[in-house]
Every structure is written in structure tokens, then in C-alpha cells.
Amino acid sequence: MKISFTSRRMIGLASVLTMLVAWKLMALYFNSGFIVPQPEETLLTVVKLLIDKNFLAVAGSTILRGVVGFAISAILGIATGIFAGISPRFDAFIAPMLITVRSVPIISLILLALIWFGSGLVPVFVAMLTMFPFMVTNVSDGVKNIDRKLIEMAKFYGVGGSSIIRELYIPAVMPFIISGASSAMGIGWRAIIIGEVLSQPRFGIGTDMHSAQTFLNVEEVIAWTVIAVLISYGFEKIIRWSEHKIVTWKL
Amino acid sequence: MALTVKNLNKRYAEKVLYSDFNIEFEEGTITCILGPSGCGKTTLLNILGGVNAPDSGELEGFGQKVASYIFQEPRLLPWKSVRDNIEFVLPRDLPALERSKEADRLIKNVELDGYADYYPSQLSGGMCQRVSIARAFACHSDIILMDEPLKGLDIVLKENMIKWFSQIWQTDKRTVIFVTHDVDEALLLGNDIYVLGRSPVEIVAHVSIAGHAGDRTGEEPHLKKLKQSLYLALGSTVNTKTEE
């Protein structure tokens, strides 16, 4: 059954409200700010954090790490994915590596990265490694999915190689790149914040979350969590928006 | 002038498809090639279009000729609008304005006015196939190669498609080589009809029909007679059944 855009929105809103009500009920039940703080107090803490003079440095550092990690993994992932899509040999060669990277617990990556790199780089490295397999798999699927008959048609009509790449390959793979970016970003933010918690760079959401936890400031831990969720949501929105702009032909 | 295929040899793996095969195509006319499935009709088209090379043999008159194609499926790029799909096969050095003018002229010809900015996913299968006809005529080609473009369309659509195709062709008489296994299509469109036998391929029948393609109804007595003889010729190429 299809539902309209507005009713979808209303249901989405109802879902958020349900979560808030459940939170409020739990807060009332436990009746302790050390276990479950009140939602409205947490919201105040969010506002307090937002207007703090260090906020831009803290959230900005985390976002910057995410963007850098994503950019590196996107560039490497797209290149590797294209090769894997074109060459079945390379695909077979890279598959065990991707499975390995994907199965390694994030915490192992962080512990190793802590030994190898400086604290600011650890989250970037971890984010890059967690996002990379998503990009490769999606892009190589995209390349494998290109309709051979379309390529044949272009060749029959004598369309040049560079036009075929620009007007056939890239648009065909684009939706796969976008969906790869979306899943990569989703997992990437989590990896970055875990990385920050453990590596303790000077600025970072994870760093502040960890110190809040040390002082049993549950309110602030949750407030930072809310901010992290909003950042992740914001990037997801940007990706969806660009998909809407780029992939207009898909109905 | 005629395009001539002389002493064509082509094998596919161990199978000999063509052995010293000869055929002639009159320029500016529609030649239909009928034959049983798998006899190598598509291979012949690919050789004529220069996509596959023959093992040996000569193609006379094909020299610098450019071919365009109408496939069984429309093969449109889903991310391009109708206009852009047609422009895709135009020479890249053509100015943008001329490209879109040329595309729009052909869109009009296949009666798709107003659909220039639609994506293929927004069109019906028959409309998409009309775009692919427009594309074939937009391409600055000398020869149009058609590989069963009407297969799987319902009868009304098929007749309409034949009408559209012949309408455009009347104003722009290119050499058309039309591969099909449907006798009716061949009778409605062809100036010359060749019936090919099993591989190694031989011509088992050749008929010429006077009169314009597209004006025919298939009900005329001489066409009915031709139909019988074509069925007979096709029947000789298969052992158990007379038609597909």
C-alpha cells in the first residue's frame, strides 16, 4: 500500500513522539537523573551545549573527521569498486580482503590505530576502514549491473569511449555510489565517535562524551548522543537530497 | 547501386554459420531477411554493421557507410530524456542547437510531440520503440539494420509501428535490412524478401514486391499468394513444424 507524503510525515512525527513518551515514562519510573534523566532537562543540556563557546570546535572536529574519512574511503572505494566490477579476477582477489575488513571488530581497529597513529587520526582511520567496504561493494555491484545491451548499442552507433564513460557508465553507477555513501555514513559516524572516546583527541564529541560519563553526567552523555544523531541525520538528508537532484530519472 | 556480400565465411565455435554465402541489397530499399531462429541472422547483421568481422569474404559497397540499429528492445538510456537519447547517437561535433533541432524533428516524425523531456520509464513499451526508430533515423547513417524490432509487440501496436516506420522511411529512403521471422511483417515492409535456410546458410527463396512499403494491407491477392510461397519456403527449413 502506498501512503502519501504528508501522511508519511505525520506517521514519522508520531514515531518520534512515541520515543519521547517512552523516554519520559522511563524517567518517571526510575526517578533518578543518574539513570534516566528527564527528556526536557536533556533538551536544555543540548541547548546549553549548542551555545557553549567550544561547541563549534568540538562538533566541527568530529564532522571534519567524518568528512575526511568519508572522502578518502569514497575515492579509494569508487576506484577499487570500478576495478572489481570490470575484472572478475580482481573481484575474486579483493573479496576475502573486504570480508576480513568488514568482520574485524571496530574496537580492534581502534586499539591498533591507537598504537600506530596520533589521537586525532585514529577516528579518521577507523571511519575510513569501516566505510571502505560499503563503497567498494556498492560501486562494483553498480558496474556489474550496467546493461551490456546499452553498451553494445552505444558501440554499434559508434559513440566514442569518453562519451560512453561520461554518459553511460557514470550515470548507471551513480545510484549505487549514493546508496553506498548512505550506508557508509550511517556506520561511519558511530565508528568515529567510538574512536574519539578511546583516543581522546583535544576536540571531539567522543572526548566530551567520555568526560561526561566519567562524572556520571548522564544528561550530557545523552545530550551529545542526540547531537550525534542529528549530525548523522543531517548528512543522510544531504545524501538523499543529492540523490534527488542527480537521479531524477528514477521513478 | 547495390551492396553486395561475396563469399562470406563465418563460424561460431565449431558451427559453420556461413560458407561461401552471397547476397545483394539494393540501396534505398527495404530488404527483409526471413529465417528460422538461430540460423545466424543476427550474426549477419553484426557483420554488415561492422561489429563482428567475417572469417573471410568481401563486403562490397559497405566501405565508408555508417549503420544505425533498431534492436528487439528499445535500448534507451534510462537516465536520458527522449530528446537526449536521440542526441546521444548524433555526431559530437554538431552544434548543440542543431542537435536538439534534429532530435525534435524526429520526435515529431514518430508522433511523440510533447514527450521530448520524458524519461523512458514514463513511456509505454511501444513509445520507447518509437524513440528507438527516431534514434535510428537521427543517426547520420546510410544503412538501418533492424533485428526483430517488432517481436513481442501486440498486433495493433505492430501494425502502427510498421505505419510509423514506413512514414518516416518514405521521406528518408535509406537502405534498410530488416531481420525477422514473421512473414506478415516482411510482406508489409519489404521490397525484397529473402528466406534463409539452416546453417550453413543458403538462400532458399527470394521474392520482390513492387509498390510502396506501408501502403500494403496484406489482404491483396498477390500478397496472399506470396505469403503461401514464403511459408512453404520457410517450412522447408524446418523439419517438424512449418512456422514458429
- Could you say which residues of chain B have pLDDT below 50? 240-244
* d(CA B238, nearest CA chain A) in Å: 30
- Are B226 and B212 within 8 A, CB to CB? no
Amino acid identity for residue B22 in this structure: N
Which pLDDT value is given to residue A136?
A: 95
Which pLDDT value is given to residue B50?
A: 81
Question: Could you tell me which residues come within 8 angstroms of residue B126 by beta carbon, excluding any fewer than 6 positions away?
Answer: B153, B157, B160, B161
Residue A251 confidence class, pLDDT cut points 50, 70, 90: low
Query: Among residues B147, B216, B145, B157, which one has the least CA distance to residue B187?
Result: B216
Residue A1 confidence class, pLDDT cut points 50, 70, 90: low
- The nearest alpha carbon in chain A to B71 belongs to A153
Which pLDDT value is given to residue B214?
A: 64
Query: Among residues A120, A140, A139, A232, which one has the least CA distance to residue A186?
Result: A232
What average pLDDT is seen over chain A? Answer: 91
Which pLDDT value is given to residue B241?
A: 43
> What stretch(es) of chain B map to CATH 3.40.50.300?
68-142+150-174+188-194
Which pLDDT value is given to residue A161?
A: 86
Does residue B89 belong to the interface with chain A, where contact is any CB pair within 8 Å? yes
Superfamily holding B68-142+150-174+188-194: P-loop containing nucleotide triphosphate hydrolases (3.40.50.300)
- Are B138 and B92 within 8 A, CB to CB? no
Which pLDDT value is given to residue A15?
A: 95
> What DSSP line would sit under A110-165, residue for residue?
HHHHHHHS-TTHHHHHHHHHHHHHHHHHHHHHHHHTS-HHHHHHHHHTT--HHHHI
Higher pLDDT, B157 or A84: A84
- The nearest alpha carbon in chain B to A248 belongs to B79
- Partners of A156 on chain B (C-beta within 8 Å) are 49, 51, 67-69
β B30-34/B15-26 pair status: unpaired
Cα–Cα distance for residue pair B37/B181, rounded to 1 Å: 7
Does residue A170 belong to the interface with chain B, where contact is any CB pair within 8 Å? no
Please state the pTM of the whole predicted model.
Answer: 0.78
Give A145-160 pLDDT, tens digit per residue.
999 999 989 988 888 8
Query: Among residues A89, A61, A77, A84, which one has the least CA distance to residue A206?
Result: A61
Does residue A246 belong to the interface with chain B, where contact is any CB pair within 8 Å? no
